[in-house]
Amino acid sequence: MPVDTRIIDGRLRAETLSREVAAGAERLRGATGVVPKLVTILVGEDPASKIYVRRKAEHARAIGMRSVSHHLDADLSEAALLALIAALNADREVHGILVQLPLPPQIDRVRVLAAIDPAKDIDGFHPMNVGLLASDGDGIVPCTPRGCMMLLEAELGSLQGLNALVVGCSNIVGRPMAQLLLRAGCTVSIAHIHTRDLPTLVATADLLVSAAGAPGLIRGGWLKPGATVIDVGINRVPKPDGDGTRIVGDVRFDEALGRAAAITPVPGGVGPMTIACLLDNVLRSAERLAAEGRCAAAA
Amino acid sequence: MPVDTRIIDGRLRAETLSREVAAGAERLRGATGVVPKLVTILVGEDPASKIYVRRKAEHARAIGMRSVSHHLDADLSEAALLALIAALNADREVHGILVQLPLPPQIDRVRVLAAIDPAKDIDGFHPMNVGLLASDGDGIVPCTPRGCMMLLEAELGSLQGLNALVVGCSNIVGRPMAQLLLRAGCTVSIAHIHTRDLPTLVATADLLVSAAGAPGLIRGGWLKPGATVIDVGINRVPKPDGDGTRIVGDVRFDEALGRAAAITPVPGGVGPMTIACLLDNVLRSAERLAAEGRCAAAA
């Protein structure tokens, strides 16, 4: 029996969160004089990366944070990047350091991410933060999975005991997502490129988070009726009429309607939550550093 | 159709590994003068813990390593334990530090484990090592899951694409086990106390690792015919005739015979592998510290 599928409004939730973060930043400034400060580092000229860092910096300023963007040449040495990170680690007015990925080939991503002070690692990619997430510790959690969790909990309340399927096992989304779902008490399955029978797995999932980056990978007919679907995929595909391109998710949205209980649209679902959660991470870092006496009031 | 289930001989595999570790320790000594040294720390009088640390220390000496055991009073302060760990971190002749769990209530386990130098954290419980494992990094991997992987790979070769089920989500076994299986290309599901339909999950698993600590939880009839079963459970139960106790696993061994392709017995399966893998971790730590010039030849 077809259900009336709810479209999860990520933009609206992200706006609410952004207002909460703005209010928190204002409270912190009033109480301590500390204004949360985000520093973004972009190496090279990747067009998408340029858009991402600009957007993050603009959002930060829009909610009353400070923001500095370093845009460095594509031929930057790893040593120079590590020196910049060391300076930002030591800078008592900086609370969040974001190195935009991907990095050019002469720079070792792993070494760079591990060089960021874990307390300022607002992407949550430092091994220390990854480890805290994976062992019930209290570290910084990657933004996109955090955003997905907020949408899921707003939709479903407690997730305890639900069957959760994560499609994709990247370090940025899939794996931390699985950790969060496990912490929430879900029975968690993780599928990926080597998975042999995805439809059967999908059919058992009360909730599905897809971060495969594969347009239309998941058919609506595979879904368990009444499932909640979070689509992290952002895939650019040719329009059906051949006239330009459009953005679609990993899940066939039109097929999921009438079968899923709720689904995030692409765009307008998870995407807006990611930046709002990033800025929330900056605020939390500033709050923690201030509480530990490790940061300075704005000059 | 009943199959002839292979009993996986963990003792034999552990003996082979122990010989390899002994040979590696001898090579390291010959090349650098460094003799791998394990330091165990036991706080209090837990009888099982006493047996465990004694066994680890004895095995270390038996294969040519040095071993020192600190046995401290149950009312030890956390500060005193942290001071001991700091001294061992700084000691250039120590390559592996093992704090036996559980710790008494006045001591914060999380703080203690995080105080161990990750390069000497041969249990692999430091958040940094947890994070490296969870993000394809090169850290120290917990012993029991490593032992399970060795048994699985000896049995099955490549695990890529297999459906793996991990029962139990402790930081010590279940979670790191899931990470290793994911790295090996398995489709991984993690079940636990909140899981609603364990039999259905078990029925889909090409390989099953149970670390639930629940005697006889998993019935033989649930298994997928031809599955490979690794039973990490070590549960003491009354003998059927009421005369004393015996050790059983999480899986009904007798029921699994004729259905599973292979299964580890309890005892004699995973157990022996754990100590052998621990000593292998000590050797690897010593090798790495020696290569980095961070340790001293034995006096």
Question: How far from the centroid of its chain's Cα atoms is residue A102's Cα?
Answer: 15
Beta carbons of A188 and B187 less than 8 Å apart: no
What is the predicted pLDDT for the residue at B299?
A: 63
Is pLDDT at A299 greater than 70 in this prediction?
Answer: no
Count of CB atoms situated within 10 Å of the CB of B26:
13
**Token pair recorded at residue B95:** 């390559």
Question: How far from the centroid of its chain's Cα atoms is residue A252's Cα?
Answer: 22
Q: What is the mean pLDDT of residues A183-202?
A: 98
Locus of tokens 């209290």? A138
Which of B100, B120, B206, B280 does the annotation list as catalytic?
Answer: B100
Question: Which residues of chain B make contact with A205, given a CB cutoff of 8 A?
Answer: none
Within B35-131, strands assigned E span: 37-43, 66-72, 96-99
**Greater pLDDT, A3 or A119:** A119
What is the predicted pLDDT for the residue at B298?
A: 73
Q: What is the mean pLDDT of residues A140-166?
A: 98
Residue A136's closest chain B neighbor by CA?
A: B171
Of B125, B127, B189, the CB nearest to A188: B189
Q: Which CATH class name applies to B142-272?
A: alpha beta
Locus of tokens 């954290």? B121
Beta carbons of A189 and B194 less than 8 Å apart: no
Locus of tokens 């009444």? A226
Domain ranges, ordered by start, for chain A: 32-119, 142-272
Count of CB atoms situated within 10 Å of the CB of A195:
20
The answer to whether the annotation marks A169 as part of a ligand binding site is yes
- A32-119 and A142-272 have identical folds: yes
pLDDT bracket for residue A296 (50, 70, 90): confident
Can you give the pTM of this predicted structure?
A: 0.96
Question: Which residues of chain A make contact with B185, given a CB cutoff of 8 A?
Answer: 192, 194
Q: What is the mean pLDDT of chain A?
A: 96
pLDDT bracket for residue A1 (50, 70, 90): low
Distance (Å, whole) CA B95 – CA B116: 11
Q: What is the mean pLDDT of residues A59-80?
A: 97
Which of B117, B120, B121, B123 does the annotation list as catalytic?
Answer: B123
Distance (Å, whole) CA A169 – CA A257: 26
Count of CB atoms situated within 10 Å of the CB of A209:
31
What is the predicted pLDDT for the residue at A168?
A: 98
**Token pair recorded at residue B49:** 């813990």
Of A137, A195, A200, the CB nearest to B127: A137
Distance (Å, whole) CA A35 – CA A279: 12
Reply yes or no on whether B224 is catalytic. no
The answer to whether the annotation marks A193 as part of a ligand binding site is yes
The answer to whether the annotation marks B107 as part of a ligand binding site is no
What is the predicted pLDDT for the residue at B255?
A: 98
Question: Which residues of chain B make contact with A134, given a CB cutoff of 8 A?
Answer: 130-131, 133-134, 171, 175, 179
Distance (Å, whole) CA A2 – CA A178: 29
What is the predicted pLDDT for the residue at A242?
A: 87
**Token pair recorded at residue A241:** 């009429």
Residues from B contacting A (CB-CB < 8 Å) are 110, 125-137, 139, 160-161, 163, 169, 171, 175, 178-179, 182, 185-192, 194-196, 200-201, 204
**Token pair recorded at residue A60:** 């930060």
Residue A251's DSSP bridge partners are: A218
Beta carbons of A187 and B195 less than 8 Å apart: yes
H helix intervals, A109-207: 109-115, 127-134, 143-156, 174-183, 198-203
**B32-119 CATH:** 3.40.50.10860
pLDDT for A228-250, tens place per residue? 999 999 999 999 888 999 999 99
Residues from A contacting B (CB-CB < 8 Å) are 110, 125-137, 139, 160-161, 163, 169, 171, 175, 178-179, 182, 185-192, 194-196, 200-201, 204
Beta carbons of B196 and A110 less than 8 Å apart: no
pLDDT for B117-129, tens place per residue? 999 999 999 999 9
pLDDT for A17-36, tens place per residue? 999 999 999 999 999 999 99
Of A130, A132, A188, the CB nearest to B190: A188
- At a CB cut-off of 8 Å and minimum separation 6, what does B176 contact? B124, B130, B133, B141, B142, B145
Locus of tokens 């006096």? B299
Taking each continuous run of H as one helix and of E as one strand, the counts in chain B are 10, 11
Of A110, A131, A185, the CB nearest to B127: A131
Locus of tokens 């070792």? A108
Beta carbons of B200 and A196 less than 8 Å apart: no
Is pLDDT at A147 greater than 70 in this prediction?
Answer: yes
Give catalytic residue positions of A. 56, 100, 123
Select the residue from A158, A170, A190 to test the B interface by mutation, using most B Cβ atoms within 10 A: A190
- At a CB cut-off of 8 Å and minimum separation 6, what does B35 contact? B25, B28, B29, B64, B65, B66, B297, B298
Q: With a cut of 70, which residues of chain B have pLDDT below it?
A: 1, 299
Q: Please, what is the angle between helix B270-291 and helix B47-62, to 10°?
A: 60
What is the predicted pLDDT for the residue at B276?
A: 97
Q: What is the DSSP string of A237-286?
A: EE-TTSSSEEEE-SB-HHHHTTTSSEE--TTTSHHHHHHHHHHHHHHHHH
What is the predicted pLDDT for the residue at A240?
A: 87
Beta carbons of A187 and B200 less than 8 Å apart: no
Locus of tokens 């149950």? B74
What is the predicted pLDDT for the residue at A295?
A: 86
Question: Which residues of chain B make contact with A191, given a CB cutoff of 8 A?
Answer: 187
Beta carbons of B127 and A110 less than 8 Å apart: no
pLDDT for A112-135, tens place per residue? 999 999 999 999 999 999 999 999
The answer to whether the annotation marks B233 as part of a ligand binding site is no
